[in-house]
Structure 1
Amino acid sequence: MPTPKEVFDNPEKYWDFLTSSTAEEFEGQYFDRKEAGRPEESENGCVSKNTLKALKEQVKECVSAFANSNKEGGLLVLGISDNGDFTGVNHLFEEQINGLTKINDLLKNQSASIKFYRPERETKEICLIYVPYTENAICETLGNQPKSWERRGYQNILLDDIQRDRLRRDKKIVSFENQYCSTYDADDLEKRVLNEFSNEYLKDAEYDDYINEKLLYQAGALIKDGNNYAFTNAGFLFFVANPQRIMPWSYIRLLRFEVNNEDRNKRRLPTFEKEFTGSITKQIRDIRTFLKESGFFKLYQKRNPDGGFSEEPEYPYISIDEAIVNAVAHRDYAIQLPIECELYKDVFVVRNGGRILQRDQEVPPEFRLDDKIILNSMPRNPKLIEWLKIMREKGGSAFVRALSEGTKRMRDEMIKLNLPAPLYIVNPAETTLILCSNSAEREAKFAADSGLGATNEFSNLFPLKFILENGNTPEDFFLQQRRKDIISALKNALTSNAWYIEENTLNRLVAHRQRAYIPQNEKVDKIVRFYQGYSFRIYPYWNNFNLMIDLNLQVRNVQNVSKLFRDYPASFFVGKRVLARWQENWYRGNIIRANPKYTNLNIFDFKKEVQVPSNLVIPNLQDSTIEEILNKRKIKFNLSTKIEELSLENKHDAAEIRAEKIQAIAKYLSQDIFKPLIIGGMQIFMEPSPTSLSKSNRAGN
């Protein structure tokens, strides 16, 4: 994709891009376009004042959002509609054009450039507004109560006070590290940390008679507060024994859940939870010791080619360590949430406040740490990182490396175990790092290689057979590229056979049969319904592609917004994801605002706001909220117990029941859905019998 500046400088070259037929092809983090009204829609041939006022607001929001968010800037185009119609701006009077393009009258702290472009042999022209990034200020409206926006995908988000403060920190307008934290008290110090630090800090000094206060002041951990000293935020986090006294969120939380990451929204209580507190060096030391000594991660036994067994860790220790230490060193400590480290069956997730800061450009919202992405970081906490580099482990190694060095090592260690490169998911307020263990596949392989026989973990894999139009079998690489298309074709086939699609992602489909809920009693069924759902994934195993089938109980609220207003205020509904009936079809979206009669919501498929009668809008509610509604309606029903029962969590024969259900649905799919499934001439068949896990039964043996 071109940069905003490239398109601004040469609109002729990128005309096809500017007039893309769908909003998705053009609009996003760096580009937006607006139609400048249509004069033929008004009685006098002029664009109405209300239309112009709304357009001016959109210009204001876009320019502010681009200036505040994008290192590469942003481009707003006036005179092209969402569907790519070239309507131009010539129908606007000069005064109206000036009202839209005199950006200095709308916003401060911006340096937008304006140009007009008329394609060859056309009488109409468009207006292009290029918005460079505002480095050390916030682009905001004029007046005593300025407003500012941030760009997130195709949306401009109005910033509240907390978000504005976060943006000020990200832009280095203010330094959280250097701000006042607490009056200095020598009794608060962690003596071990201070002694280690002073030994290293003064190692090359010509004199070493610094008293503690002077040393800490020179290092930047203390500031003068009148005639006394005071801790900075950085000094308090690093040198105080109990920084949680003032910053209770400044700790590491380690949890384990016995579900896969894709089912995290339905997880139960963690099977393990531990907090690591104290100064940040103590937190790092304590969690390192715990992870080395506790057996928190699995250690696999694998057969060596020349005989005997060796051990292979579930995750490389270095990768885990770098992930956690990077979070400690680079998190935004003003965001009042701890670092959360969550272990699922298939991934390890490290989540910390604050996004990754880059010197030259922003990182994508989601990316893998491979050779295509080079992290050229701008340290969020330069003092903390400097001090951590001064500190030494027992062997003399540094506590922390530069982000680019540490992440490269983390990636390389994952690759050594043939594991995927680390995945980053970044939003303005949070960075999430995901390490994938491929545990299910590895465990099955180790079991087969060691002669332990098959486990029942993979009895839900069903082989797929692919035949091209010429009768040949496609290459694996070709199939890898078509996994999304296969899932999409499966979704369409299920929908045509009266299935309801709960979730549809790149490589996962969750669905259940329509109207096939599991009845309870009349009162309960009016509040909540249970569906036996199934999740489907395309899964490569032993050089074959399979359909992985899992049970997936669906617990669904059936109360519409109008009825829920009996129990909840309007604020409860804002942001809730919903299923809504609009123009004779059901669509997914999220609520913008609601009242008992009408609900305004954003329809995901069309990225537009619509108004729907509230009795046709059904919100997705958490189990705890559904339980709360049952209690408010005085309906005696133990929702948690019922979920456990229907999920087979406590049944002694759960494995057998699960296998029977999966086998039955596999037989149905092989006969009624894969008969065959067709994608662009390629036929796909599914075997009704599961893939064998025994090495002796694999193809070629």
Structure 2
Amino acid sequence: MELNKTIEYLRTKPEGQTFDRKSAKIDAKSLAVILVAMANADGGDIAIGIEDNGNVTGIDGNEQHINELLRASFDFCVPSVEVNAERLAYTNEYGQPNHILLIHVHQSMKLHTNQADEAFYRVGDQSKKLSFEQRLQLLYAKGGRYYEDEPVYNATIEDIDLAKVEDYIKVLSYGKDVITYLQENNAFVTHRGGVERVSGAAILLFGKNPQRFFPRSYVRFIRYKGTEAKVGTEMNVIKDVIFEGTILEVINKTIAYVQTQIKEFTFLGPKGLFVTIPEYPAFCWQELIVNAVVHRDYSIYGTDIQVKLFDDHLVVESPGFLPGLVRTYNIRHIHFSRNPKMAVFLRDYKIVKEFGEGVDRMYREMKEAGQPEPKYVQDDFILKATLQAKSLPNAERETTAEKTKEKPKKSQRNHPKKPENYQENIIQLIQEDPSITVIRLAKLLKKTPDSVRYQLRNLTTHGIIKHEGPTKAGKWIILKPI
């Protein structure tokens, strides 16, 4: 049998997420299941005329049946699946010409079903039938509907903290009152048939108690001793903390706490000066937390976002499919907001720093820090993002915690001056100029703007300061001493 290189490759290529082999005897309805599953997932290729064991049997001799297979994407898929098909020639073992049919299935932004109204999703080399809940989750992930726009059962405007709305419209410089804002913007509060409807976005952004309606819309932080999670008598959990509130409060609380758990390494640099670097670049782990909160699938009630910190890596787990056309292999460059209203809200509060570009920047910063690139894994309906910790020679390692345990020497002569308190310096500069900007603070403190923003969020979360007015023209107010 004389096979060209393409057919030999298709004969031996492992079946998986984006490739399948089928006999020409497959019926059109069965083929439609694979077409639907691939279109709903990542797209892919189907080689017709090659058996599962790799034997090439071809398609010639039954043109009517092959035409039925070619029409399967129209006749048995709802809506129709976009495909391209080509016939590849080869010579069989008897010296006779034959062909295989290679069908390329395009990835789709739509949710597809077969004629029986069953939805499938490609998982590895299988076409997995979706439950009603999973089907709805996939619809939200593809942007066919946005779950944040769905009305929340039994919620009323009384469940919204109007003071939080007031703070936000000041950031926007919105000229009308808070009730008008809620009723006229983003469909936060609507009326249908005389019934008041409050959206999920309104509750998650401004709710008095969002967890009443979204019980697991919190972030759970777990600190493990060692490099893997253990259970039973070997359970190695050191800390287990939950952060609740609106999505802004959850993000600020989580970031402030995780900051206290990230180690810093101090060592003598090449110029004879001590250098301090963190286990993970601050932007990177903060970006993972922000993305998990703003892009999680809130229609999944049974689980929560988890931030897991091990001795050598950090993992952030978020419920839901990757949204839109985003996949683990293109996540650096393809952007899609599962919850666009929440994303815009966080951008207005400067939590989302680089709209649509944060993941790519995270890859760059990990590379610049000499650390492996982030690793994303879609584990069924949970997205797991992992960062590897900074690795330094033992002779150069010295954590901040270890430094504080050192006993002071009797003579302080020639010792460096004790560093001033970072937050106290910020408060002092705000007292001197309540209208001071982040850029100005960063310049005076000789810190990065991101570092200053983090400290300001921390001070705001703990009720020490607050900001009034628009971002660029407002002022800081000190609420209590630090």
Q: Which category describes the TM-score, using the shorter chain as reference length?
A: 0.7 to 0.9
Provide the rounded CA distance (Å) in 2 between the counterparts of 1:64 and 1:153.
15
2:169 alignment partner in structure 1: 198
Aligned residues: percent identity?
26
TM superposition shift of 1:306:
4.0
| Preserved contact between residue 280 and residue 328 of structure 1 (Cα < 8 Å) | yes
The letter of the residue matching 1:413 is: E
2:307 alignment partner in structure 1: 341
The letter of the residue matching 2:56 is: F
1:229 alignment partner in structure 2: 196
2:142 alignment partner in structure 1: 171
1:363 alignment partner in structure 2: 328
The letter of the residue matching 1:268 is: M
| Preserved contact between residue 255 and residue 289 of structure 2 (Cα < 8 Å) | no
Partner SS for 1:125:
strand
TM superposition shift of 1:83:
4.5
Provide the rounded CA distance (Å) in 2 between the counterparts of 1:213 and 1:448.
54
Provide the rounded CA distance (Å) in 2 between the counterparts of 1:75 and 1:228.
49
2:50 alignment partner in structure 1: 80
1:446 alignment partner in structure 2: 396
2:339 alignment partner in structure 1: 381
Partner SS for 2:55:
coil
The C-alpha deviation readout for 1:7-46, integer Å capped at 9, x for no partner, is: xxxxx9x9423333765x253322222123xxxxxxxxxx
Partner SS for 2:387:
strand
Provide the rounded CA distance (Å) in 2 between the counterparts of 1:408 and 1:184.
38
Structure 1 135/186 Cα, relative in aligned 2: closer, same or farther at 3 Å?
A: closer
The letter of the residue matching 2:286 is: D
| Preserved contact between residue 253 and residue 275 of structure 1 (Cα < 8 Å) | yes
TM superposition shift of 1:95:
4.8
User: Equivalent residues in 2 for 1:132-211 (5 A)?
Assistant: 132-136=106-110, 138-143=111-116, 146-183=117-154, 185-201=156-172, 203=173, 208-210=175-177
| Preserved contact between residue 110 and residue 132 of structure 1 (Cα < 8 Å) | no
Provide the rounded CA distance (Å) in 2 between the counterparts of 1:216 and 1:343.
39
Structure 1 129/418 Cα, relative in aligned 2: closer, same or farther at 3 Å?
A: closer
User: Equivalent residues in 2 for 1:151-550 (5 A)?
Assistant: 151-183=122-154, 185-201=156-172, 203=173, 208-210=175-177, 212-220=178-186, 221-261=188-228, 268-292=235-259, 295-307=260-272, 309-336=274-301, 337-357=303-323, 359=325, 362-364=327-329, 374-391=332-349, 398-402=350-354, 404-427=356-379, 429-438=381-390, 441-442=391-392, 444-447=394-397
| Residue 6 of structure 2 corresponds to residue 34 of structure 1 | no
Provide the rounded CA distance (Å) in 1 between the counterparts of 2:90 and 2:397.
66
- RCO higher in 1 or 2 (8 Å CA, sep ≥ 6)? 2
Partner SS for 2:357:
helix
| Residue 97 of structure 2 corresponds to residue 131 of structure 1 | no
| Residue 55 of structure 2 corresponds to residue 89 of structure 1 | no
The C-alpha deviation readout for 1:225-258, integer Å capped at 9, x for no partner, is: 3334321011111010211001101000001011
Partner SS for 2:128:
strand
TM superposition shift of 1:62:
1.3
TM superposition shift of 1:442:
2.1
TM superposition shift of 1:363:
3.4
The letter of the residue matching 2:336 is: M
Structure 2: runs of 5+ lacking an equivalent: 403-482
TM superposition shift of 1:271:
0.9
Q: TM-score, normalised by structure 1?
A: 0.51
1:634 alignment partner in structure 2: none
Structure 1 448/296 Cα, relative in aligned 2: closer, same or farther at 3 Å?
A: closer
Structure 1 405/173 Cα, relative in aligned 2: closer, same or farther at 3 Å?
A: closer
Structure 1: runs of 5+ lacking an equivalent: 1-11, 37-51, 368-372, 392-397, 453-701
Provide the rounded CA distance (Å) in 2 between the counterparts of 1:442 and 1:331.
34
2:78 alignment partner in structure 1: 108
| Residue 33 of structure 2 corresponds to residue 61 of structure 1 | yes
Structure 1 416/239 Cα, relative in aligned 2: closer, same or farther at 3 Å?
A: same
Q: TM-score, normalised by structure 2?
A: 0.73
| Preserved contact between residue 20 and residue 26 of structure 1 (Cα < 8 Å) | no
| Preserved contact between residue 7 and residue 88 of structure 2 (Cα < 8 Å) | no
Provide the rounded CA distance (Å) in 1 between the counterparts of 2:7 and 2:79.
27
Provide the rounded CA distance (Å) in 2 between the counterparts of 1:113 and 1:314.
48
Provide the rounded CA distance (Å) in 1 between the counterparts of 2:170 and 2:211.
26
The letter of the residue matching 2:185 is: A
The C-alpha deviation readout for 1:249-294, integer Å capped at 9, x for no partner, is: 1000001011214x657861511011110111111122233234xx
Structure 1 175/209 Cα, relative in aligned 2: closer, same or farther at 3 Å?
A: closer
| Preserved contact between residue 358 and residue 375 of structure 1 (Cα < 8 Å) | no
Partner SS for 2:9:
coil
1:17 alignment partner in structure 2: 6
Relative to its length, the structure with more strand (as a share) is 1
| Preserved contact between residue 109 and residue 324 of structure 2 (Cα < 8 Å) | no
TM superposition shift of 1:127:
2.6
Partner SS for 2:222:
strand
Provide the rounded CA distance (Å) in 2 between the counterparts of 1:30 and 1:124.
25
Structure 1 328/15 Cα, relative in aligned 2: closer, same or farther at 3 Å?
A: farther
Structure 1 409/141 Cα, relative in aligned 2: closer, same or farther at 3 Å?
A: closer
Partner SS for 1:271:
strand
Provide the rounded CA distance (Å) in 2 between the counterparts of 1:199 and 1:142.
51
RMSD: 3.0
TM superposition shift of 1:65:
1.2
Provide the rounded CA distance (Å) in 2 between the counterparts of 1:353 and 1:296.
24
| Preserved contact between residue 141 and residue 324 of structure 2 (Cα < 8 Å) | no
Structure 1 31/247 Cα, relative in aligned 2: closer, same or farther at 3 Å?
A: same
The letter of the residue matching 1:32 is: D
TM superposition shift of 1:313:
1.7
| Preserved contact between residue 11 and residue 55 of structure 2 (Cα < 8 Å) | no
Provide the rounded CA distance (Å) in 1 between the counterparts of 2:354 and 2:273.
40
Partner SS for 1:194:
helix
TM superposition shift of 1:213:
2.2
Aligned residues: 391
| Preserved contact between residue 19 and residue 84 of structure 1 (Cα < 8 Å) | no
Provide the rounded CA distance (Å) in 2 between the counterparts of 1:200 and 1:447.
43
Structure 1 306/125 Cα, relative in aligned 2: closer, same or farther at 3 Å?
A: closer
The letter of the residue matching 1:142 is: Q
